[in-house]
A and B are shown apart, each in its own frame.
Chain A
């Protein structure tokens, strides 16, 4: 990864998107768990963000089988 010629593959990108999407999903949910005093629960903007996170993770899953093709 530190090489001047290293480039991300579709698999790398897929894994990054999968992990990133899931971590972001958990973080958004975490806001409500940690900040329980907040009113309104998961609002429409949060729902959109959660949907976006899941979409990123899902796209990541579909990229993983593409293997070593450069991203």
Chain B
């Protein structure tokens, strides 16, 4: 089969103005994406200074970390006091546990780990693009594009495990991308072992990484089936062995809490809405990424990045599950940043090649005479794609000396909490209602709630863990996990409801009211609303015994 490179000859002198325009547009794209990185860094530093839950669930990841730091398991029987269990694998919390020994109980280091994870991820994306294309500017833009995504921005610096999973996934595919072609057996085995260790790390950070595991083995199977099967067996033995060991050590709570309880209702409307939102935000890079994957499928060899992209997109369908959201697109965003970078670099490097086949005869040959013009147009179109992306993902605070001035200049009105503009709006269910900066008023409100917790005798039932932790009281329940279990018929609420009926809790703090229905009904019967404290854009209801 003959390969043909598209003819791209044009006189260099006639392209000088175009090259100047290209450099100008590339610089503009770079400035905009660096601007988003500044916004991201400001947001991350702001959150690290905020001592309370910013995103619901952070506090319970903190509790998991504390338990690991004390050598205890967070996979516990939720039917008995304190009705607490984690629903996530342990690795992120184990990584954070030494910080508890060094700095005590605090949110900043979990948020720092999440933030650093996204930086590692962006660097790996840039490295992957550079390694394949040797185009440093596109490599930098690809990494920055990842950090500029609205989704990555708002979940990156949280005390949540999701971005650490994405970091391990990205490192895995970058390590494994050329493993099959390594001639030296020992080096190849080391590379495969390292890459698959990252896959395992991703899976033991969050269950969603199973799609990346599938992508990796599909890719390895395409390249060399026998080797893929052998390594898959080894991987299953190690991964399965760890799984069984944890399950035995926790008397089966590991299976119940992390697997069985996570089979939640699926809302198709939420998935459709989030896919539409994902496309509207990332379309400028998503289309080139998809085109590049199709190019590899029909005209070149499939890379691990294309296989990963396809499985990650399919896996994003799970964003419609109860409790899921736009974070489920983070892996697909990492993959699309790599593929769109490869598309851009190949265009600018003028290195598109098309083997002779029925598709090239049908789709490529009629346009070969336009190749020089198309290649020249690429000088303008490629930076415009990144500029278009920069416009589509527009998000920034609209208040303060610097951001306020920029927002005024751009004509932005806040459309989210605390003077924040987010081009995603709030049109899709499951899109996290975060991204804004916290204020001193939020911090003051949080301490007011802590004072209320300190003031009562006995335990406090709080929907967020921070108030109890900071007041020096035991954290009781993980509401969303109880709801997960209850919806699956796996939670016996008798003991918890009994404590509520006995008014054993001196104070109840509610935010989203994500407890099981019978628990909520018991609270309504036995507690009265006493005060509402507004913090971080949400109303915290404080209830006292009737």
Contacts and interface: CB of A to CB of B under 8 A. Distances in A.
A44 B1 CA distance: 43
A26 interface: no
A59 B317 CA distance: 20
A64 B493 CA distance: 57
A61 B140 CA distance: 38
Nearest to A13: B222
A45 B268 contact: yes
A69 B355 contact: yes
Given A48-B317, A63-B297, A71 B222 contact: yes
Interface in A23-61: 44-45, 48, 52, 59
Contacts, number: 45
Contacts of B357: 65-67, 69
B298 A6 contact: no
B225 interface: yes
B267 to A, nearest CB: 10
B358 A8 contact: no
B268 A1 contact: no
Contacts of B491: none
Q: How large is the interface on A (under 10, 10 to 19, 20 to 34, 35 or more residues)?
A: 20 to 34
B184 to A, nearest CB: 13
Contact of B224 (A4, A44, A45, A66): A4
B48 to A, nearest CB: 39
B227 A8 contact: no
A2 B357 CA distance: 28
A56 to B, nearest CB: 10
B317 A66 contact: no
B266 A45 contact: yes
B391 interface: no
Q: How large is the interface on B (under 10, 10 to 19, 20 to 34, 35 or more residues)?
A: 20 to 34
Contact of A66 (B221, B266, B298, B314): B298
Contact of A52 (B221, B227, B266, B314): B314
A1 B225 contact: yes
Contacts of A52: 314
A65 B226 contact: no
A15 B317 CA distance: 26
B301 interface: yes
A6 B297 contact: no
A8 B302 CA distance: 11
A6 B222 CA distance: 9
Contacts of A1: 225-226
Interface in B206-231: 221-227
A8 B226 contact: no
Nearest to B223: A7
Contacts of A44: 268
Interface string B279-311: 000000000000000000110011000000000
Contacts of A69: 1, 355, 357
Given A3-B226, A63-B297, A69-B355, A8 B221 contact: yes
B359 to A, nearest CB: 8
B222 A8 contact: yes
B436 to A, nearest CB: 34
Interface in B77-96: none
B225 A6 contact: yes
A3 B297 CA distance: 24
B468 to A, nearest CB: 39
Nearest to B302: A71
A7 B227 CA distance: 10
Nearest to B269: A44
Interface string B225-245: 111000000000000000000
B225 A8 contact: yes
B268 A4 contact: no
A69 B358 CA distance: 13
Contacts of B226: 1-4, 6
Contacts of B227: 4
Nearest to A1: B225
Nearest 6 interchain pairs by C-beta = A44-B268, A8-B222, A71-B222, A2-B226, A66-B357, A70-B301
Interface of A: 1-8, 13, 44-45, 48, 52, 59, 62-63, 65-67, 69-71
30 contacts: A1-B225, A1-B226, A2-B226, A4-B224, A4-B227, A5-B224, A6-B224, A6-B225, A6-B226, A7-B222, A7-B223, A7-B224, A8-B221, A8-B223, A8-B225, A13-B222, A13-B302, A44-B268, A48-B317, A52-B314, A59-B297, A62-B298, A62-B359, A63-B297, A63-B298, A66-B358, A67-B357, A69-B357, A71-B222, A71-B301
